[in-house]
Amino acid sequence: MAVQADNGGDGCGPREVERAARACLAEGRPAEARGLLAAYLEKVPEAYELRCLLGYLFQHEGRYREAETCYETALAIAPPSRELFHNLGLVKLRLGDVAAARDYFAKALAVGGEVVETLDELAAACLQQGDVAGALGCYERLLKIDPHHVRAYVGMAEAFADAGWEADATRSFETALAIAPDDVEALNGLGIVCKRLGDYEQAMRLFERALALSPGEPALLRNKAMLCSLLGRQDEAEAIFRQLLARDPEDADAHFCLACTYLISGRFRDGWREYEYRWHSKERDGAVKMPTSALPRWSGQPVNEAGSGLVIYAEQGFGDGIQFARYVPLVAKRFSKILLHTRKPLLSLFRRSFAQYAEVVAEMPDERGYTHHCPLLSLPLAFDTRLETIPADFPYLMPDPGRIGRWRQCLAGERRLKVGIAWATGKRGLHKRSFELAPELLEPLFGAADVAWVSLNKEALDERQREILERNRVADWSAELADFDDTAALMCVLDLVISVDTAAAHLAGALDRPVWLLNRAESEWRWLLERSDSPWYRSMRIFRQQNPRQWEGVLHEVAGALGAWVAERQA
């Protein structure tokens, strides 16, 4: 509803100003259009439609804060429209306020009825919050409006894929392609699902089809390059990433992917440098957040040790924290004091382990009295780490002797070899499906003679899992593992730890306990290529999948190794 406004006494009303502003836009003079609108609004602030138009101009130019101000001012002037609520939702989404965006999209639908564009954006907002059910509900409403809406099927497929439901994702992508065989989004999305499922040939065909339709599209080229890397074609992958960077030197995603290519190949010097782009890469899905610090960044440069102090900020997961905490003693040789930030479950263990080097905190650090900061995973860059110079002073984590004693008492009557097993990771959605294995697959291992099994999982067990553990007499003390200090103490009385790629594997390695890693086919860069050992942990042995999510071959190899290990220990 338009509000009639006074023309300000200059003979030029809101309609004339709007026509003049739109003419400036048509002629490629947006700054002049903004000037006309702002000048009129200064005299007639209640001109609703012009306020909305100015907001739209700011939004179109990516000036989202200014657009937000315009739209919110417009809300106070007159009854809002669907368009205003929709645009406010878009702006809030770009500003990272996903909850507010969802609220505005819902209001737009309440005012204007079921509209395809708004339902699509509301679904995207739901996905950003991890609300897969909410997103799917939006797409179902959208398909009632238009049963052949390709974007709805693609959106549903992406929601299924994010949740790890690849069969449903595949069907939705295939439906989209049946309607529109040349839809690039659907081709790319189905290619990603095929890659996750290990159908690399089909994934490559789909990426190539999409590239034929959209040559040079960066996301498609990155997906093809990452697939080349999985296929062992590292040189081809690197060439594609370099092609992308030649076109756009600030392409953070290409930099980050190139970093992973370097690191998994053992080319650490180049890899650590490119890995600094992790802060800006969308490939990380917001998993890495740059620390907020008022201190200058330390990147290995010489400092005057007297009066110097370094704040080390935690980042990423528990396993990363454990793996790279090994650098703390080296940092202590450069700075007179250290403040190590970590996550609470690691606090007790880290405080004891690094007491002589650093103060360890779990809350956001007080930087007063410190001179520099450095993110934890930037320490390898600061120390110019190569394969041959990885810090290897083991063990570098020290559990509580009292807790070790208690676990030793718990297991005092057990004469068999004691093996800890971790098959779950705490991850969700597609990552859970990729990293973990079902406990029933472990039953042949549980039958090994002269082995007492201990579960190291912290994830709550469902009824089926609990029955499997009970049937195979696997001890489960998860309720008594309050933090990593408890788990570390338990590991110290075990003879061997077997783990999927999760923090348990890092913890055992940092404690210098024998550990066997069950590594997925789409390996993390830290485990390098084709190696059965790890330069990061001297006590680790790696068993590798040949195809994604197919654990049977790995477990058959582990069973053979376990039998040999038992025989050797009993000889």
Q: In this predicted model, what pLDDT tens digit does every residue of 5-23 receive, in sequence order?
A: 333 434 467 788 888 888 8
Domain assignment present for 258: no
Query: Do residues 122 and 142 lie in contact, with contact meaning Cβ atoms separated by under 8 Å?
Result: no
Task: Give the list of residues 6+ apart from residue 420 with CB closer than 8 angstroms, or none.
Answer: 453, 454, 455, 456, 490, 491, 494, 496, 497, 498, 499, 504, 508
CATH number for position 452: 3.40.50.2000
For the chain, first and last CA: distance in Å? 88
Both 417 and 565 in a single domain?
yes
> In the numeric block, which tokens belong to residue 558?
């582990």
Both 542 and 510 in a single domain?
yes
Q: How far apart are CA 570 and CA 228, in angstroms?
A: 45
Instruction: Find the helix or strand (DSSP H, E) in which 74 lies.
Output: helix 64-75
Both 415 and 376 in a single domain?
no
pLDDT value at position 360? 98
> In the numeric block, which tokens belong to residue 72?
């919110």
pLDDT value at position 7? 37
Both 451 and 382 in a single domain?
no
pLDDT value at position 325? 98
User: Tokens 């055992």 belong to which residue?
Assistant: 508
**Torsional class of 450: left (φ above 0), alpha (ψ -120 to 50), beta (otherwise):** left
Query: Do residues 504 and 456 lie in contact, with contact meaning Cβ atoms separated by under 8 Å?
Result: yes
Write the DSSP symbol of residue 431.
H
pLDDT in tens, 502-548: 999 999 999 999 999 999 998 999 999 999 999 999 999 999 998 88
pLDDT value at position 226? 92
Both 440 and 543 in a single domain?
yes
**Which candidate, 564, 569, 561, 521, places its Cα nearest to that of 545?**
521
pLDDT value at position 212? 97
Number of domains within the chain: 2
pLDDT value at position 12? 67
pLDDT value at position 4? 35
Q: How far apart are CA 196 and CA 170, in angstroms?
A: 12
pLDDT value at position 5? 38
pTM of the model: 0.82
Both 379 and 419 in a single domain?
no
Both 317 and 420 in a single domain?
no
pLDDT value at position 429? 66
Domain assignment present for 147: no
User: Tokens 């290529």 belong to which residue?
Assistant: 529
Q: Is 37 exposed, middle or buried (0-12, 13-18, 19+ CB in 10 A)?
A: buried
Both 377 and 414 in a single domain?
no
Within the chain, which residues score under 70 in pLDDT?
1-12, 283-287, 428-430
Structural domain containing residue 421: 401-570
User: Tokens 């394969």 belong to which residue?
Assistant: 387
Q: How far apart are CA 158 and CA 509, in angstroms?
A: 36
